[in-house]
């Protein structure tokens, strides 16, 4: 264990922070080098190019998200419980790595087409995971017969927005926020038999 951080990991963390705060194009390699107390040119021992660095951050972001959410989707839990857990887990992940997530969510346009395609593929894969739960719930009659596509976007907007306002010093923990979200959405979706 231990908190050994390699120079390279440090670079990724610093870059994610700067890209997230100032934006990719507004962040210079100089800015990154300054934070690491090395020279501009020395960065290229660790990365191939600025855009390659961006890609790596975005890939890390989406992969982390997926690793945490996929087991939920593939479990045997009922759809409502799956959805609640997915919402909580997504919220927690965003709150845990807000810099990586902000970069992943905002800088797609800064990638050149080939790399952009690859990230887009991840993104679609993730979207499908979410929709699958919703579709399953509707099919089984657990959820109201909603427009799965629109609701999935509603849900993703809600949780992705978290990085914009979440603070670890705030009154609610990420898990608590996730629970509020889950309650809200489930209340809105459950097909109650209020005869």
Partner DNA sequence: TATGAATGAGGGTTCATTCAT
Partner DNA sequence: TATGAATGAACCCTCATTCAT
Interface positions with a copy of itself (CB under 8 A): 21-26, 106, 109-110, 144, 146-147, 150-151, 153-162, 164-165, 172, 177, 180-181, 183-189, 192, 194
Cα separation, 20 vs 71, in Å, equals 28
Question: Contact with DNA (CB under 7 A): which of 9, 10, 39, 128?
Answer: 39
Q: Which is nearer to DNA, 41 or 171 (CB)?
A: 41
Using CA atoms, how far apart are residues 30 and 180, in angstroms rounded to an integer? 42
Kindly tell me the burial class for residue 81, based on how many C-beta atoms sit within 10 Å of its own C-beta (0-12, 13-18, 19 or more).
middle
Q: How far is the CB of 20 from DNA (least distance, A)?
A: 15
Q: Which of 5, 42, 63, 75 binds DNA (CB under 7 A)?
A: 42
Residue nearer to a copy of itself on the CB measure, 78 or 190? 190
Nearest-angstrom CA–CA distance, 126 and 123: 5
- Measured CA to CA, the distance from residue 100 to residue 12 in angstroms comes to 9
* Footprint on this chain of DNA (rule: CB under 7 A): 7, 27-31, 38-45, 49-51
């Amino acid at each position: 264990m231990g908190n050994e951080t390699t120079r390279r990991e440090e670079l990724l963390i610093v870059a994610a922070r700067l890209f997230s705060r100032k934006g990719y194009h507004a962040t210079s390699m100089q800015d990154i080098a300054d934070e690491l107390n090395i020279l501009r040119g020395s960065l290229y021992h660790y990365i191939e190019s600025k855009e390659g660095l961006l890609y790596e951050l975005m890939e890390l972001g989406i992969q982390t998200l997926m690793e945490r959410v996929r087991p939920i989707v593939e479990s045997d839990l009922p759809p409502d419980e799956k959805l609640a857990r997915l919402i909580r887990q997504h919220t927690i992940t965003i709150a845990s790595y807000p810099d990586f997530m902000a970069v992943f969510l905002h800088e797609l346009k800064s990638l050149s087409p080939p790399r952009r395609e690859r990230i887009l593929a991840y993104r679609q894969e993730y979207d499908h995971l979410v929709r699958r739960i919703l579709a399953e719930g509707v099919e089984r009659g657990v959820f109201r017969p909603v427009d799965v596509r629109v609701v999935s976007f509603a849900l993703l907007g809600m949780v992705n927005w978290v990085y914009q306002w979440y603070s670890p010093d705030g009154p609610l923990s990420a898990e608590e926020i996730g629970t509020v979200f889950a309650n809200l959405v489930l209340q809105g979706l459950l097909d109650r038999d209020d005869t």
